[in-house]
Structure 1
Amino acid sequence: MKSTATQAFRRARAPIQLAILTLLAGIGAAHAQDVAQAQAAPALSKSIGSADSNVIPEVVVTATKRSTPLQKTPIAITAINAAALQDNHVQTIQDVVNLVPGFQATGQGDHGVITMTLRGIGNDSAKTEYADPEVASFVDGIYSPRPEGATSLLFDLEAIEVLRGPQGTLWGRNSTVGAVNMQTTKPVIGERSGSVEAGMGDYKRLGTRGAVNIPLGETAALRIAAVHEQHDGYIDYQKLPSISLADQRAAFKAGGGKDADFRPINPNLFVAGGPKYGAQDQTAVRLSLLWNIARDVKWNVSYEKFADRGTPSMNLLQNPRAGTDLWSTLADVAPTLKRDTDAIRSRLEYTINDSLALHYIAGVSRFSGSSTFDQDGGAAVPTSFATGATYQANNTVSSNYKNHSHELELQSLGKQDIDWQLGLYYAAEKNDIRFDIPIFSGTQEGTVNWQGSFIQPKETVASSAAFGQATWNATEKLHLTGGLRYTKDKRTNEGGNGYTWNGDKNVAQVPLSPSIDPRIPGQGYSPGSPSNDGVYHGSKVTGLVRVNYELDRSNMVYASVATGYKSGGLQDGGRPYGAETLTNYEIGSKSTLMGGMVKVNNAAYYSDFKDFQFSAPVTNPDGTRGLATNNAEGATVWGLESEIAAKLTRDDKLQLTLAYTRAKLGKLIGGTNDYTLPVCTVPGISTCLDVSGNAMPHAPKFSMQLQYQHTFELAGGATVVPRISTHYETASWLSVFNLGEGDRQKAYTRTDLGLRYTNNKWWVDAFVRNVADKNIKTSAGNSFGPYMAQYLPPRTIGFNTGVDF
């Protein structure tokens, strides 16, 4: 059956040796590029230069909220242009990670979202309204507060900028260790153009996307872009093994059951067909308008609609049962995922005079979603309808987010002794959610183990800030920068509570479903005590001090001290948790070598965390469940990063990224329901483990990404470009608990291949991703006995073809 979303859319030589020599030459050197002085920031990044020359095109970025050349921007930043995004088949943030040093993104199944880790710091629980990410995501400079915003289908992008290190001064709260800014392609006045493409692949993959630029007179233009991507799920369904009635009856009686209550296992409770876990079915459309209202006034505004009818990924047995495959599951909950997002983004620019500009950036978005998920993942085969296994579903009955943000920027223009900018910011969110967890012994027709519903009818977040940053251009080579930001936050929970099964014998033991309202007396549920009502107030000053020095026209070095901040908040029972802060010390270099053929960017950093927030689902001593957030005494992270781009010849291009990371947690007693842990002696936690000094998760000590491509010129101007991209990283833990091989992803190498044929304005691009079909874990747990994990996709193959007009 076609989904609603689908129907809606149907309308050279020795490159390794040279790279090594370049790396050795670039260590300790720094970048700078001789380009024109940057002007006030437009809302896009672009490349300057000819793609068929021997010089690597200069990239213009907006990391400092001005338009500046990448090689003159004293920040650790990776800018990925539209061509690189297409070559690497980037659809979500998870596809970006291998292109950025020290960047990880993990799928979280029950909510169908992606959480991000940068420089060894992230939060796997930043998938609900209770936990915020450490890596902030922006679209056209507008903050996307919930993780669903980071997983929307990426399309028609000019560039993605990944800023590494705290960005608390210009980019605000929750950019503790970095920020990701996705720049959409803007309309062009006076140009009528467009593109369309389509593709196919294994797992019944179908994809199509297109864009058209329409001039509206001499002062305006409209751009319409749309995309649809779908493929079947990667995970097959297992059949329920045949168990004799005699064995079922014996197991039931051994578990304390009575003959009169016995019933056979109903095989219809197990999923045999329909959509598989790990499927994609996503559609999006964006309308963008550029209007030069007057000579000095320009307005960019866009509306974007996103719809997701795919399915979540799945927890799989790391060691499959005999006769089963890794990519299969014994499922008793059919997967569903429904996510709809509407967003309006606006940027109004007023050039007051040659030396002063005023910008107003605003955004409004609305998200609604629901999902069903098989949390137990078929970890065990039931021995009877009420024994031998655990049935657990994690169901988001409804989840709704509304937010709006406003930013006013006043900044200097042109070449000044002091470049400065001032800003005011305000953002507000209003959220509600109902999340159900039924847990039964054996099957869903067994007996209640535990079940409950978390209902939060209203949660609000309000954040306001004032900021300023100035750079004193002391000389043509020496530049000193300072900045401060004051942020004030308020969070409220109103009317929220957890409702737990109370064992009322007059109520039938059936799994909690949307047709049951646990708030109504007599349904078999009791509210927790106390409720989640509460108010949190917090404020913080963050800042930046930086010096950068241009050694010559091609080399620059910089050093900075910057602070980041993530606000505190409220958790179950209305209990507050504290804010986390980060101080980052960094030195770096940016170098343009060999007349522009090679560029090398290096950074070394040390980060000192205070009150690092650790969030996890827990069971309380009274048997209730919830999501708890605790502040560790701290965490320390240090590392080295290097990015190398080389145009070996006019036809040979090589890119290499390297990262070395050491991330160590401070003092923390951690609890979670995702792992089997010892009984806890700390009051308020049922099971826990002292994880003080453990390595942080998703933080391999060393990682490397190597990309190489060669252009073959054919007759008539056609080209063929083969490319290879290889990623290697050492072993990494999947949680702060560091519990052994089941909780660890071993060292691995993953390779992608591509081949692109271009003839004038049409092209065909074939690809193989994960060539060796490696099984790469992104999360793990053993709360149901055996170790389970979620994985990156298996090997996939396909092609796209398109035409520009």
Structure 2
Amino acid sequence: MAGGGAVAQDAGSEPQAGFQIEDVVVTAQRRSETAQKTALSITAVGGETLVQAGVTNPDDITRVVPGVQVSGGTTTQIYVRGIGDYGVTAQANPAIVTNIDGVVVSRPQAFSGNLFDIERVEVLKGPQGTLYGRNASGGVLNVLTVQPKLNEYSGYFDATFGNYSQVGGEGAFNLPLGDTAALRLSYQLNRRDGYLSDGSEDDDREAVRLQVRTAPNERLSLTGSLSYTHLGGVGSGIVPIPAIPGMSPWSGITDPRVSAVFQDIVNQTYVQSGGQSVPPFLIDPLSDSPLFRDVKSWAASAHLEYDLGFATLTVIPAWRETDAQLSYNFNYHYNLGAPYNAAGDRPDGENSTQTSLEVRLGNETDRVKWVLGGFLFAEDQTTDYQLRAGAILNTLNKMSLKTDSAAVFGQATYDLTDRFRVTGGLRYTSDTRKAFDFERYAISPMMLGMAPSPMDCTPPNGAMPGTLCPIYNPTPGFYDSEKTFNEVTGKVGVEYDLASASLLYADISRGFKAGGFNQSVALVTRDALMPFEPEEIISYTIGVKNRFLENRLQLNGELFYYDYTNMQLSNPGFDGDNSVVLVTGNAAGATIKGASVDMVAMPWQGGTIRASVEYVDGVYDNFQVQQPANFVPPGRIGCPVSPPTPQGVVNIDCSGFPLLRSPKWSGALGITQYVDLNNGDSLVFNADVAWADKAWLMPDFHPNQQADAYANVSASVTYNFPNDRWHVALWGRNLTDEAIYTGGGGLQHGFVTGWTTSSIAPPRTYGVRLGARF
């Protein structure tokens, strides 16, 4: 399905006469066109296909779109052809833009919980620097919801029951409001126990969306949307990789049995080093901070379209606020809201308030298609969290962030002949990033032997557990930092109709991911925060999209080459106040080349076969970082490590290693069979397997950090009653119960060799889905 439109017969709908492949209409280029006529790498998956595949959260997209790796649970991490972002903090920027109904979602926590009542999902691969701009260096994921329908009473309801005590429901109701307006109310809720042994990776979410559309005449259309999502429960968890002998691969690291194994490894490390490594009492493998998740997101937007005659005016104002309180355990705790003392005091977590406004003019004539636009984006963030790894690291960290971004853009496609077209586009973006009100406190007990804070605030001087001790906070505003990044991105392309149903295209595109600031003090001056610069990518793509055999065979292919520079990577280290931090810097450049092929065929009545394969060869050309020598005991890093300098720093050279989350081969194979039972009833059989080659998950490149190849097998059978009014489906996913490690966990523990953690996909799940449509 890579490189073209993913076409699938909607379960329960009767095949077209002559059983032809249906066209999928997309709006990825800010105009409506079929995926087969869109001259870029795009995969579009329809809403009914998503339901049949059980796609209810972003991580599930990996199973339906080859070349895309999604993990991280609550803090969604999306990698497309090896391009993504490992960071999960407020300072991090995604490399893949996520949009809901044309509105950018800046925080990964706010994206989860929105995949319900969906018209389609569009995945654009490669930099999209013209029409989408900042943070689209690797691609774009567009979610398009079902819109209110005029003059129609309709709706649906689906109830799902599955193992791990799953109970869920989803539905929508469409109500006409006279002849020129309509309302659509959509909702979703789900409850499921965690599939990890410590209770994590549960599913506790609820969401509601209200949309009102009015079209008083043929020239004007206005849609308003209000939505709310809540993610609760235990939340995301991680597991040791490889699995501990004798334990299930789905054993969470806060399981006491797993924690005991970790403590044994720490003790062995201490003994083997002759007592020179970190003493075991400084490690807090289990912690008394419980895993939990409490993420709330509110959103409002409007979408206006008005036909001016010479062009269509589109205006999209939007607002979103996200509050996140949660707790991770990567063998250190990352707490956004867990109590840190006996009095119940706790961090405030992360808050993000974003506003945006996009204004476009666009038109199509016989010879030219064009769009001009402007974009404004502002985000105010606060982050207040605790990092805890026992007495050696127990800090409270606070900071405010502000982003102001403005862009102007334009793109046009001109028909030189009836068969040959050229495209050009440019975008200018000005990004201003601010970081201020930075504070860091040690939470007693903590060893601050090298920190410049007053030592009488820490043990053994009698401070009570939970006491906050300032670490190098001279005066308010001392670390306030600001930087503006100006970028020009764009695209040039050509396309040629080889035949009426065959399109050849090629393009060169440039994109960037925004820079910003770390929540850490500059090493030398100690009077500002450590910045990181934007990363940049230039892509070269050539592809072909074909239909054959009277629209019964679709065959698409693509070749691509990416030049990736100033790549942002995160690694542990010390900052200017000698605190242990995860520092993001521009540490690498990479070359990515590959190919994709996808096929859809309808060789017999009611039957659809889908097959796709993607090859990605991504290598770090230059990947060198420096870390404190005591962070790099022998055997912890798989890359060459230099001898320590007199300052106790080592150089790590990972040049030549493959990109993270980038399996060299991935693909999917599926079949759907529709059977008419001649009495108005029907059966739909569906089976799919998504597979991927081995891939590196984390940038230490220790052998334990490479996930094995896998095949994820899913199947379902759906019985549809007459007129598709009712249906019942039996479904199963990961039927072979394969352990599929997805990354998104912690780095190897900074002081312990041989201990690595990762997120993991669900084990075998199965259940029944009951539904009605009206």
For normalisation by structure 2, the TM-score amounts to 0.84
Task: Specify the code of the residue in structure 2 equivalent to 1:792.
Answer: A
- 2:383 is the counterpart of 1:430: no
Q: Which aligned pairs between 1:350-749 and structure 2 lie closer than 5 A?
A: 350-353=306-309, 355-376=310-331, 397-413=348-364, 415-440=365-390, 448-456=391-399, 458-500=400-442, 501=446, 502=448, 503=455, 504-505=458-459, 512=466, 518=468, 523=469, 526-527=472-473, 532-571=479-518, 572-573=520-521, 574-620=529-575, 623-670=578-625, 676-677=636-637, 681=644, 689-740=652-703, 742-749=704-711
Q: Contact 1:52–1:650 at 8 Å: present in 2 too?
A: no
RMSD of Structure 2 on Structure 1 (CA): 2.8
- 2:743 is the counterpart of 1:767: no
Q: What is the rounded CA distance, in whole Å, between the counterparts of 2:243 and 2:565 in structure 1?
A: 41
Question: How far 1:464 sits from its partner (Å)?
Answer: 0.2
Over 3 Å counting, the alpha-carbon distance change for 1:141 and 1:322 in structure 2 is: closer
Moved more, 663-672 or 95-104: 663-672
Q: Contact 1:107–1:790 at 8 Å: present in 2 too?
A: yes
Q: What is the rounded CA distance, in whole Å, between the counterparts of 2:320 and 2:715 in structure 1?
A: 37
- 2:752 is the counterpart of 1:752: no
Q: Contact 1:371–1:396 at 8 Å: present in 2 too?
A: no
Q: Which aligned pairs between 1:309-388 and structure 2 lie closer than 5 A?
A: 309-318=232-241, 324-328=247-251, 329-330=255-256, 331-332=286-287, 333-353=289-309, 355-376=310-331
Task: Specify the code of the residue in structure 2 equivalent to 1:102.
Answer: G
| Paired position in structure 2 for 1:303 | 226
Q: What is the rounded CA distance, in whole Å, between the counterparts of 1:685 and 1:145 in structure 2?
A: 38
Over 3 Å counting, the alpha-carbon distance change for 1:187 and 1:511 in structure 2 is: farther
Q: Contact 2:241–2:705 at 8 Å: present in 1 too?
A: no
- 2:772 is the counterpart of 1:803: yes
SS at match of 2:44: strand
Q: What is the rounded CA distance, in whole Å, between the counterparts of 1:129 and 1:60 in structure 2?
A: 35
Percent identity for Structure 1 against Structure 2: 27
Q: Number of matched residues?
A: 689
Q: Contact 2:15–2:606 at 8 Å: present in 1 too?
A: no
CA deviations on 1:632-662 (whole Å, 9 max, x unpaired) are 3521111101121111222111111110001
Over 3 Å counting, the alpha-carbon distance change for 1:576 and 1:168 in structure 2 is: same
For structure 1, the 5+ residue unaligned runs are 1-22, 34-44, 238-275, 379-394, 441-447
Over 3 Å counting, the alpha-carbon distance change for 1:451 and 1:164 in structure 2 is: same
CA deviations on 1:114-154 (whole Å, 9 max, x unpaired) are 200001111111x2221111111001111111112332341
For residue 782 of structure 1, the aligned residue among 748, 754, 762 is: 748
Question: How far 1:294 sits from its partner (Å)?
Answer: 3.9
Q: Contact 2:539–2:563 at 8 Å: present in 1 too?
A: yes
SS at match of 2:389: strand
CA deviations on 1:503-523 (whole Å, 9 max, x unpaired) are 5247656665xxx6x3xxxx4
| Paired position in structure 2 for 1:272 | none
Q: What is the rounded CA distance, in whole Å, between the counterparts of 1:669 and 1:417 in structure 2?
A: 50
| Paired position in structure 2 for 1:280 | 203
Over 3 Å counting, the alpha-carbon distance change for 1:70 and 1:357 in structure 2 is: same
Over 3 Å counting, the alpha-carbon distance change for 1:554 and 1:528 in structure 2 is: farther
Q: What is the rounded CA distance, in whole Å, between the counterparts of 2:86 and 2:718 in structure 1?
A: 36
For normalisation by structure 1, the TM-score amounts to 0.81
Question: How far 1:547 sits from its partner (Å)?
Answer: 0.3
| Paired position in structure 1 for 2:103 | 142
Question: How far 1:627 sits from its partner (Å)?
Answer: 3.0
Task: Specify the code of the residue in structure 2 equivalent to 1:123.
Answer: D
Task: Specify the code of the residue in structure 2 equivalent to 1:313.
Answer: S
Question: How far 1:685 sits from its partner (Å)?
Answer: 8.9
Question: How far 1:289 sits from its partner (Å)?
Answer: 0.7
SS at match of 1:461: strand
Q: Contact 1:31–1:592 at 8 Å: present in 2 too?
A: no
Q: Contact 1:757–1:764 at 8 Å: present in 2 too?
A: yes
Q: Contact 1:153–1:282 at 8 Å: present in 2 too?
A: no
Over 3 Å counting, the alpha-carbon distance change for 1:175 and 1:646 in structure 2 is: same
Q: What is the rounded CA distance, in whole Å, between the counterparts of 1:165 and 1:277 in structure 2?
A: 34
Q: What is the rounded CA distance, in whole Å, between the counterparts of 2:462 and 2:246 in structure 1?
A: 37
For residue 123 of structure 1, the aligned residue among 73, 78, 85 is: 85
Question: How far 1:792 sits from its partner (Å)?
Answer: 0.7
CA deviations on 1:516-556 (whole Å, 9 max, x unpaired) are 6x3xxxx4755389954200111111111000000110111
Task: Specify the code of the residue in structure 2 equivalent to 1:449.
Answer: I
Moved more, 588-597 or 772-781: 772-781
Question: How far 1:235 sits from its partner (Å)?
Answer: 2.0
Q: Contact 2:713–2:733 at 8 Å: present in 1 too?
A: yes
Q: Contact 1:32–1:71 at 8 Å: present in 2 too?
A: no
| Paired position in structure 2 for 1:264 | none
Over 3 Å counting, the alpha-carbon distance change for 1:102 and 1:319 in structure 2 is: closer
For residue 23 of structure 2, the aligned residue among 58, 79, 83 is: 58
| Paired position in structure 1 for 2:195 | 234
Over 3 Å counting, the alpha-carbon distance change for 1:209 and 1:53 in structure 2 is: farther
Over 3 Å counting, the alpha-carbon distance change for 1:506 and 1:449 in structure 2 is: closer
SS at match of 2:71: strand
| Paired position in structure 2 for 1:215 | 176
For structure 2, the 5+ residue unaligned runs are 257-285, 334-345, 449-454, 522-528
Q: Which aligned pairs between 1:133-282 and structure 2 lie closer than 5 A?
A: 133-237=94-198, 276-282=199-205
SS at match of 2:128: coil
Q: Contact 1:620–1:686 at 8 Å: present in 2 too?
A: no
Q: Contact 1:617–1:674 at 8 Å: present in 2 too?
A: no
Moved more, 697-706 or 292-301: 292-301
Q: What is the rounded CA distance, in whole Å, between the counterparts of 1:567 and 1:619 in structure 2?
A: 24
Q: What is the rounded CA distance, in whole Å, between the counterparts of 2:72 and 2:173 in structure 1?
A: 33
Q: What is the rounded CA distance, in whole Å, between the counterparts of 2:772 and 2:98 in structure 1?
A: 31
SS at match of 1:649: coil
Task: Specify the code of the residue in structure 1 equivalent to 2:301.
Answer: R
| Paired position in structure 2 for 1:101 | 66
Q: What is the rounded CA distance, in whole Å, between the counterparts of 1:683 and 1:592 in structure 2?
A: 65
Q: What is the rounded CA distance, in whole Å, between the counterparts of 2:136 and 2:177 in structure 1?
A: 38
Question: How far 1:83 sits from its partner (Å)?
Answer: 1.5
SS at match of 1:612: strand
Question: How far 1:486 sits from its partner (Å)?
Answer: 0.4
